[in-house]
Amino acid sequence: MNRRQFVKAGAAAGLAVAAGAPAVAAQAAARAPTLMAPKGVKPVVVSSANGNTFKNGGPRTCIEEAFDRIVKGSDVLEALIAGVNIVELDPEDTSVGYGGLPDADGMVQLDASCMHGPKKRAGAVAAIEGVRTPARVAQLVADETDHHLLVGKGAQDFARAMGFKIEDDLNTENSRRKWLDWKRRIDPKHYLDPARRTEAGDRARREMVAEGLLDPDHVYGTINCDGINAKGEICGVTTTSGLSWKIPGRVGDSPILGAGLYLDGDVGAAGSTGRGEANLFNLSSYLIVEGLRRGLHPKDAGMEALKRVAANTVEKRLLNDRGRPMFDLKFYVLDRQGRHAGVAMHGGKDKSYAVCTEEGPRTLSCDVLFEEPDTE
């Protein structure tokens, strides 16, 4: 067939289809590729690694529960809260909620925050006692008050008014036994001065990690969980029992907007686990979201924050022999396009984060700033 014949044949076929010739139309449709116009983004849930570990005796982990609810049409924040509640209620996770490692006096004090991208609302509680699911209380602070943060007894009274059961003690036998072990190590004579007590407390914490009595990832234990639905709606939540054996009343980064959690519904979300004081000083989650706003990939935005933290860590007691931070800090980042990353200050074992998509739940390796492990 020459060119003239080819053009004439193509034109005839086009006229036949236009005239409604069913056989020709069917053949043309069979040969044509199927084109799917993209609609929104694919739902994603991202969390710290414990979000794909603990199930509290149920069928799903945190990220599985949150993702399942999101794809079924649940409000994104409601889905994420339901997810982290699984970890808060699981006594096997000693970093959050019920059974979280207590403060120096043996009391479990919990912190949590949440942010709702579409509603531009946020809520948080700090140093709350007697409530197993502080993330749910934080959500009610956002929904039922004009405030962003309630603390201590005021937060507990608010929870009671909202119908929560207030328990006398959130310790489990496991968390209480570990606290007693720590207490015996640091204060055998009960007369340590504050400086010696702090030094002894840090030493005892390191010894318990080295002996396998304390999970190094639960020294500063937390869960952050962020998610996006097909409409591009982003929400986030962070909940924790804080630093193990902390000074009573100590509040870390988790309930502080811009530190333990920050998001902009038009840009993305970031949250953290690790040394809260380092994160607070740099308001790292806010810094990361602003990096996303400038067009950075989640990995690059997270790395930028880690470099800022490292540059601002100058106290010798916080530096290793290479002049680098002697602590770990991780960020979990999710942008408006559904791209995600987990980044960590140091390499070593268990430097990972969790993600759930339509492909199912996975635990992925974090990108690290410094390849050597932290020494704390």
**Catalytic residue annotation:** 222
In this structure, what are the phi and psi dihedrals at residue 341, rounded to the nearest 5 degrees? -160, 155
Instruction: For residues 300 and 279, give the distance between their C-alpha atoms in angstroms, rounded to a whole number.
Output: 17
Q: What is the b/e burial string over 201-233, where b = at least 16 CB atoms within 10 angstroms of the residue's CB?
A: beebbeebbeeeebbbbbbbbbbbbbbbbeebb
| Tokens standing for residue 5 | 């014949």
Dihedral sign for Cα atoms in the order 75, 77, 78, 80:
positive
φ, ψ at 331 (rounded to 5°): -125, 145
No. of helices (H) and no. of strands (E), the chain: 11, 13
Measured CA to CA in angstroms, residue 9 lies from 137, 146, 266, 276, 337 at distances of 71, 71, 51, 72, 45
Question: Which two three-digit tokens encode residue 236?
Answer: 């986030």
* 363 Rama sector, left if φ>0, alpha if ψ -120 to 50, beta otherwise: beta
CB atoms within 10 A of CB 7: 11
Place of tokens 């119908």: 163
What lies within 8 Å, CB to CB, of 236 at 6+ separation is 77, 80, 114, 115, 224, 225, 226, 227, 261, 262, 263, 269, 271
Nearest alpha-carbon partner for 99 in 206, 30, 172, 191: 172
Residue 57's CB: how many other CB atoms inside 10 A? 9
**Which residues, 6 or more positions from 367, have their beta carbon under 8 angstroms from its beta carbon?**
299, 302, 303, 341, 342, 343, 344
